[in-house]
Amino acid sequence: MLRLLFLILILIPTFLVGQERSITDLYNKSMMVYENIQSGEHIEALEKADEILGEYNYFPGGDKYYTYLYMYKAEAYLRLGDVLLSELCSKAAQEMAEGAGENSLVYTIENNLAALEIEKYNYDACFDKCRALLVDSYKPDKSVLGAVLNNITLAAFKTGNFVAADSLFPILFDISNDSFSNDGFDRYLPYRNYGLYMMQKGNEEIACKYFTKALQLYRENLGENHYETLRTKLYLGDGLLITENRESALVLFDQVIYNLSPDSDSLEIRPSEYEILLIKSYLSRAGYWFEQNAQMKKEERIHSLKTSMENLKKAEERILFMMQY
């Protein structure tokens, strides 16, 4: 009996060390998936996440990291344009977080699910889900609260609830200008969204001021060629086109297309958001040349119409390319 007890006492520390090492390995490998997503390697991230989930097969203490892996999978699928699989992975992550008692993760995932309603153009559903989060007894940190407010504010003005939007934007701007860790919260997005709000209300000149402010912030903090910078350029270009600052608009459209255009005959599968932004840029540039047609002499109109049609054709080609995948 004493010998058996002695063996147990020896093996317990060995077991605990082995488990701790496994959890550390799981954390490190989970971070590799996160880094894949940050680098735009979404297919690699999905493959790595499935490999890790198969390798570790749910051992005690790993629930939090399994939750993160499913959250990473949800983001990767969303970037690749598969909203359904993204939603399924988010729900799997939600179930795991609830089982592990990770209230902060549950709250974040519920906001992610609300954001998916925006992707499906279900703005009413997004508004209702975010409103439920805001009255929840759990109090998130400012970065998560800001992410919820970004979603509910966008949903508010998209559904024509201008009263809610007018009351929410000042709160959102206060949080955006506050000093705190902004993990998961795009503090420059409120300026761009307010520009979209003003566009919806027909105040294009005010919209352009806010797009310009957002563009300046994205440029300074994310770089000239970052997706969010390019996306903001397109919104600003559309606003400038409406306010008849056509040449400035064309410069922005050209910059976006230059940065997003793949090599000729490229078969690279990129995040769907990049393809959609490129398609919208071609359509906006086609709109520029179509509007220029009315300002040109008769002999120049053929060229402008031809250029407009060429851009529409390029947009069609990218749409057909996306449909293959």
CB 33 within 8 A of CB 47: no
Q: What is the mean pLDDT of the chain?
A: 84
pLDDT at 269: 54
Instruction: Return the amino acid letter for 194.
Output: Y
Per cent of the chain over pLDDT 70 is 83
The rounded distance, in Å, linking the Cα atoms of 53 and 248 is 50
pLDDT top residue among 297 and 189: 189
pLDDT top residue among 197 and 96: 197
* Residue 313: pLDDT over 70: yes
Token readout for 313 is: 């054709």
Give the closest residue to 269 by CA, choosing from 214, 306, 324. Answer: 324
For 70, 315, 322, the CA distances from 147, given in Å and listed in that order, are 19, 32, 29
| Most confident among 55-69, 95-109, 181-195, 199-213 (mean pLDDT) | 199-213
**Three-class SS of residue 322?**
helix
Count helices and strands in the chain by DSSP H and E runs: 14, 0
Calculate the dihedral angle through the C-alpha atoms of 41, 43, 46, 49, rounding to the nearest 10 degrees: -50
Give the closest residue to 125 by CA, choosing from 150, 94, 83, 159. Answer: 159
Helix axis angle for 162-177 and 142-158, nearest 10°, is: 150
pLDDT top residue among 271 and 3: 271
pLDDT at 17: 39
* Residue 18: pLDDT over 80: no
Q: Buried b / exposed e across 180-208, counting CB within 10 Å, b at 16+?
A: eebeebbbbbbbbbbbbbbbeeeebebbb
| Most confident among 147-156, 173-182, 294-303 (mean pLDDT) | 147-156
pLDDT top residue among 53 and 156: 156
Of the candidate ranges 113-122, 235-244, 271-280, the one whose mean pLDDT is the lowest: 271-280
Across 64-89, average pLDDT = 91
pLDDT at 184: 67
Residue 34 CB-half CA count within 13 A: 13
**Three-class SS of residue 188?**
coil
* Residue 79: pLDDT over 70: yes
* Residue 281: pLDDT over 70: yes
**Could you give the angle at the alpha carbon of 278 between the alpha carbons of 277 and 280, nearest 5°?**
65
**Could you give the angle at the alpha carbon of 146 between the alpha carbons of 164 and 189, nearest 5°?**
85
DSSP letters along 52-64, please? HHHHH---TT-HH
CB 165 within 8 A of CB 127: no
* Residue 62: pLDDT over 90: no
pLDDT at 60: 62
Rama region for 81: left / alpha / beta (φ>0; ψ in -120 to 50; rest): left
Residue ranges and CATH numbers for the domains of the chain are 200-325 (1.25.40)
Of all helices (H) and strands (E), which one includes residue 104? helix 103-119
End-to-end CA distance of the chain: 65
- Within 10 angstroms of residue 242's Cβ, the number of other Cβ atoms is 18
pLDDT at 240: 93
* Residue 188: pLDDT over 90: yes
Token readout for 60 is: 């005690």
Q: Confidence class of residue 70 from pLDDT cuts 50, 70 and 90?
A: very high
Across 210-222, average pLDDT = 95
Token readout for 299 is: 């002999």
Across 105-121, average pLDDT = 94
Greatest Cα-to-Cα distance within the chain, rounded to the nearest angstrom: 104
* Residue 133: pLDDT over 70: yes
* Residue 282: pLDDT over 50: yes
pLDDT at 180: 63
pLDDT at 179: 67
pLDDT at 154: 96
